[in-house]
Structure 1
Amino acid sequence: MVSRVIPVDPFDLVIFGGTGDLARRKILPGLFRRFCAGQIPENSRIIAAARSEMDDDGYRDLAREAIEEFGRKKGRDKKAVKAFLKHLYYVPVDAKGEGGWKQLKERLRDDDDVVRAFYFSVGPSLFSDLAEGLQVNGLSHRDVRIVVEKPFGHDLESARELNEELAKHFHEDQIYRIDHYLGKETVQNLMAVRFGNMLFEPLWNAQYVDHIQITVSETVGVGGRGSYYDNAGAMRDMVQNHLMQLLCLIAMEPPARFEADAVRDEKLKVIRALDPVDPDQIVRGQYTSDGQMPSYREDAENPTSKTESYIALKCYISNWRWANTPFYLRTGKRLNAQASEIAVVFKDAPHSIFGIDAGRHRNVLSIRLQPNEGMTLGVTIKEPGPGGMRLVDVPLDMSFAEALGPEAEEAADAYERLIMDVIRGNQTLFMRGDEVEAAWAWTDPLIEGWERRGDSPKPYDAGSGGPDDAAFLINRDGRRWRRIQT
């Protein structure tokens, strides 16, 4: 199978916060891989901007170290790294002041054939300052694109304020709110499976689907993010954005076209159709020490914290497609597996001709986001051999690396793909402002509810599957959480 790389137009990409952790871990190694794939035109430039005093050579040394530490080892060679580094430049810029803006403007090309994009790889508190700085210093024009990282607001009010601030300087079609989960190969394949196969779409509704589980399980703790995380928690950090986006893609109606606004219109309808969640349908947890790993409160350096590091909830979507079909969401840190999965659990056959001894068998479509991206469809067959009609469930497994060959292993990761979409001007996999606000409008009452009641999260051992109450949440409905495959 031959991988097809679609080239992009020449560009000037400015990375504000170009010396930061995200730039070093994801952005620079990702851009290097796109360069190796032949996707970055020869006359494109990547300009890092930060407060640190540094010259071009100093930044190239930083980038080389980042590629060596965080980049994929396969296919990397010194000649390729050296050629890539020639595209990199550095300008010291004070986001809140006047320093460096003139020099940055001098580095940029005023050419209609060159795409100009600015990546805000900084904290949200600087978004407004950077947007204003670009306009005041004559660095923006109608075709400029800006990329903003999450968290996009802390609640509905702050999200609206941030949208309004950005709207003072840029049109909505210039703003790319990035959620790296939407750049994952499997997430995009979810749309292909749903809307490209007659096999699934007729069954994708309440008549045939018993329930859907969305799981994002992490083995890491909050670590060095303790101060941020303790003001956010699992609901704000994961559910309001990542899990909400997965929920929208699994539940939305078919868009008229695979275009940015058509897709995002359908996602917005899902969010607005979500019912409020009763308190007894929410389980919050906080990891404790297992004797080896520290507790959440130790990691967050807050001995009285009531912030959740785990959350599970059951929600419903009030529309014709999904009426009375439960969606179970769960995510947490310091769990026993590092994995992400969407499981579509279909209903039992209306009548079993094989009798009670055949047991209960259900088709399950498992969509694995990590690790080992791929999809598995559970199918019921007869167990081989004599002795009667004994049924057994077997997987029809499609792991991308096995089914599609080496090209799947070398496919662009989420950040690579999304950055290239910015250069192309394709907003399909980026959140729109009204979509972000709608997600907060659904999330805020849940958070306000447990804060008003003074609820404390349930303790669970680090390295376990989460609090026991999360199992009760689904067990009382006669269902079970799926065992996460690592």
Structure 2
Amino acid sequence: MVTTESALAKNPLLEGMRLEKRASPFAMVILGAHGDLTKRKLIPALYALYLEDLLPKDFAILGSSRTKMTDDEFRAVMKDSVQKYASDLNFQEASWGEFAKSLHYSAADVTKPDGFNVLSGRLQELKEEHATQGNHIFYLSTAPSLYTPIVKGLASSGLATKAKRGQAPWPRIIVEKPFGHDLKSSIALDEEIHEVFSEHQVYRIDHYLGKETVQNIMVLRFANGIFEPLWNQKHVDHVQITNAETLGVEGRGSYYEEAGNLRDMVQNHLLQLVSLVGMEPPISLDPEATRDEKAKVLKCLRPIDPSEVDDYAVRGQYGPGYILGQSVPGYREEDGVSNQSNVETFTALKLFIDNWRWAGVPFYIRSGKRLAKSITEIAIHFKSPPHRLFSESIDTLTDGKTEGLMPNVLVLQIQPEEGISLKFATKQPGQTNQLRHLNMDFKYGTAFGVRSATAYERLIHDCLMGDPSLFSRTDQVEVCWNFISPVLEAWSDKSRKTDFPNYAAGSWGPAASDDLIASTGHAWRRL
């Protein structure tokens, strides 16, 4: 969370939190700067960092794409974008005017050598104008098909050089997902990048890892003495991770036809959440110590045998339905989607971590579009008491029905509201031992009284500081691709019939996902 001196003074809950140190001078080149990511996320994040005084005095931001624009035209477009997409920021003409002085633009075609010559010349000018000291960050906000040509172009133009171990990681490169299309292409992409950049210069960005609740997983586990002793197979019954969206593909039908939900969400976002929940305590907060532990637990994922894919994985595709009372089309009716498409918009997996801490504990993950509610959460379901003293003291629900004593559940709410909730049983007032289950809630938005930094603010700032803790390392990416490869191969087999569409928009996914979790005696949380 970004803090300022005024916030510290006003809110006693922030007392003792240190102020962030300032980054070194830099010039960030955003390749693909005319795209939505730059307008919706990157420039608003950089402006927010500027408002929080977390950028150095000397910096420059150079946008580039094939679209021809002047510096002033680029600044005007970005100004409109900040006002439209970052309404929570304290936008002021004076502060924007100062920030915009560091915004520049150069039209360049990065598929041709001349494009990099243009960028090289402009960066030299910005080095003199803004005293950036030649510290360059290249943000690849482009189509993944351009990653390799860009990396090669940066090398041939002299803009990129490989830093040795122990040297400051300049220049740096930020790569957006997807990191390849499968295991083979991911390895090939990494090899191309490592020809030009050392691993400590590479920042593979996963915006989920920049969310406050995700960052707080390690704090919750390792800064509190009450949770970590229970964080194992002796006390945890199972873990559920849900990523649900009411949105459809939102004009990205062509992209989704190539990716699908398993590649788009599970391979990166959700397996990264699994690693944070399942990892061992790092020996320090050194970035590599943390990433080592995440990689270790991912390597402990039990491989899925190709012949048993249906026992561990469920796929679905939404059909027509209703979202918030509004009729919405099915996936096959979306623009850019084949009317015979077998691409999944829903995935549910049952996985196991084969190590001493988690042996026998199932982790269930599900992700889908056009579901009943937009929510992302991690739910740790603890085991029930070994002896039920209060077996007859059951809850009475509002509809008059009853349910038995439920286990404790610790919920880490990632979006839309970030927070933590703990469900526990308590005695209801009265002369009998009537139990009720209540939630103890913590919400970021109300607890600290300050605006939480967006994921991109945190991640961009970490990159500026040279801290890769929240970025995916090459071995993590490879392990994740390797884990889902049997599922990808099975689902790409055209001889395997599907019953798509197999869930209505506005539902909680296909019935088979309920059967998957029920096969081991569990049920999805009611959200």
TM-score by length of 1: 0.95
Q: Which of 418, 427, 442 is the matching residue for 2:459?
A: 418
User: Are 2:279 and 1:252 aligned?
Assistant: yes
Structure 1 contact 284–458 (Cα < 8 Å) conserved: no
Identical amino acids, percent of aligned pairs: 43
1:301 maps to: 337
* Distance in structure 2 (CA, Å) of the matches to 1:306 and 1:12: 44
* Distance in structure 2 (CA, Å) of the matches to 1:184 and 1:325: 26
**Cα deviation per residue 1:232-254 (whole Å; 9 max; x = unaligned)?**
11101100000000000000111
1:340 aligned counterpart, secondary structure: strand
2:44 maps to: 29
User: Are 2:194 and 1:167 aligned?
Assistant: yes
Structure 2 residue runs of 5 or longer lacking an equivalent are 1-6, 9-13, 164-169, 395-403
* Distance in structure 2 (CA, Å) of the matches to 1:399 and 1:385: 30
* Distance in structure 2 (CA, Å) of the matches to 1:65 and 1:98: 32
Letter in 2 for 1:298: E
1:363 maps to: 408
Structure 1 contact 340–369 (Cα < 8 Å) conserved: yes
**Cα deviation per residue 1:401-460 (whole Å; 9 max; x = unaligned)?**
12112x1xx121001110111111101101111111111111111111233352424511
**Cα deviation, residue 301, structure 1:** 2.5
**Cα deviation, residue 65, structure 1:** 1.4
**Cα deviation, residue 5, structure 1:** 4.4
- Residues 355 and 57 from structure 1, CA distance in 2 versus in 1: closer, same or farther, beyond 3 angstroms? closer
**Cα deviation per residue 1:143-164 (whole Å; 9 max; x = unaligned)?**
2100000011000000000000
User: Are 2:127 and 1:91 aligned?
Assistant: no
| CA RMSD across the alignment | 1.6
Letter in 2 for 1:483: R
2:478 maps to: 437
* Distance in structure 2 (CA, Å) of the matches to 1:81 and 1:223: 31
Q: Which moved more, 1:314-323 or 1:452-461?
A: 452-461
**Cα deviation per residue 1:112-161 (whole Å; 9 max; x = unaligned)?**
85632110111111111111211211212432100000011000000000
- Residues 326 and 84 from structure 1, CA distance in 2 versus in 1: closer, same or farther, beyond 3 angstroms? same
* Distance in structure 1 (CA, Å) of the matches to 2:133 and 2:109: 28
- Residues 168 and 145 from structure 1, CA distance in 2 versus in 1: closer, same or farther, beyond 3 angstroms? same
**Cα deviation, residue 466, structure 1:** 1.1
Structure 1 contact 5–38 (Cα < 8 Å) conserved: no
2:55 maps to: 40
Structure 1 contact 286–310 (Cα < 8 Å) conserved: yes
Q: Which moved more, 1:241-250 or 1:356-365?
A: 356-365
* Distance in structure 1 (CA, Å) of the matches to 2:173 and 2:200: 10
1:454 aligned counterpart, secondary structure: coil
Write the mapping of 1:192-271 to structure 2, written as runs, cut at 5 A: 192-271=219-298
Aligned length: 480
Structure 2 contact 267–480 (Cα < 8 Å) conserved: yes
* Distance in structure 1 (CA, Å) of the matches to 2:226 and 2:274: 21
- Residues 151 and 313 from structure 1, CA distance in 2 versus in 1: closer, same or farther, beyond 3 angstroms? same
- Residues 187 and 353 from structure 1, CA distance in 2 versus in 1: closer, same or farther, beyond 3 angstroms? same
Structure 2 contact 391–405 (Cα < 8 Å) conserved: no
User: Are 2:492 and 1:451 aligned?
Assistant: yes
**Cα deviation, residue 361, structure 1:** 2.5
Structure 2 contact 60–132 (Cα < 8 Å) conserved: no
**Cα deviation, residue 107, structure 1:** 2.7
Structure 1 residue runs of 5 or longer lacking an equivalent are none
* Distance in structure 1 (CA, Å) of the matches to 2:150 and 2:512: 44
**Cα deviation, residue 352, structure 1:** 2.0
Q: Which moved more, 1:471-480 or 1:388-397?
A: 471-480
User: Are 2:373 and 1:331 aligned?
Assistant: no
User: Are 2:429 and 1:384 aligned?
Assistant: yes
1:121 maps to: 141
* Distance in structure 2 (CA, Å) of the matches to 1:380 and 1:474: 25
1:130 maps to: 150
* Distance in structure 1 (CA, Å) of the matches to 2:255 and 2:331: 13
**Cα deviation, residue 330, structure 1:** 0.3
2:119 maps to: 104
Letter in 2 for 1:424: M
**Cα deviation, residue 49, structure 1:** 1.1
1:254 aligned counterpart, secondary structure: coil
2:251 aligned counterpart, secondary structure: helix
* Distance in structure 2 (CA, Å) of the matches to 1:12 and 1:74: 23
* Distance in structure 1 (CA, Å) of the matches to 2:143 and 2:219: 34
**Cα deviation, residue 261, structure 1:** 1.5
* Distance in structure 1 (CA, Å) of the matches to 2:272 and 2:84: 31
* Distance in structure 2 (CA, Å) of the matches to 1:44 and 1:323: 50
2:525 maps to: 482
* Distance in structure 1 (CA, Å) of the matches to 2:377 and 2:480: 21
1:462 maps to: 505
1:312 maps to: 348
Write the mapping of 1:8-27 to structure 2, written as runs, cut at 5 A: 8-27=23-42
- Residues 112 and 41 from structure 1, CA distance in 2 versus in 1: closer, same or farther, beyond 3 angstroms? closer
**Cα deviation, residue 286, structure 1:** 0.5
User: Are 2:321 and 1:290 aligned?
Assistant: yes
Write the mapping of 1:333-352 to structure 2, written as runs, cut at 5 A: 333-352=369-388
Structure 1 contact 205–322 (Cα < 8 Å) conserved: yes
2:167 maps to: none
1:79 maps to: 94
**Cα deviation per residue 1:271-326 (whole Å; 9 max; x = unaligned)?**
21111333122211100012721110111420111111001111111111111100
Structure 1 contact 10–44 (Cα < 8 Å) conserved: yes
**Cα deviation, residue 464, structure 1:** 1.2
**Cα deviation, residue 167, structure 1:** 0.8
TM-score by length of 2: 0.88
Structure 1 contact 458–467 (Cα < 8 Å) conserved: no
Q: Which moved more, 1:137-146 or 1:178-187?
A: 137-146
1:268 aligned counterpart, secondary structure: helix
Letter in 1 for 2:213: T
Structure 1 contact 17–50 (Cα < 8 Å) conserved: yes
* Distance in structure 1 (CA, Å) of the matches to 2:471 and 2:513: 31
Letter in 1 for 2:27: D
Letter in 2 for 1:418: L
Structure 1 contact 5–37 (Cα < 8 Å) conserved: no
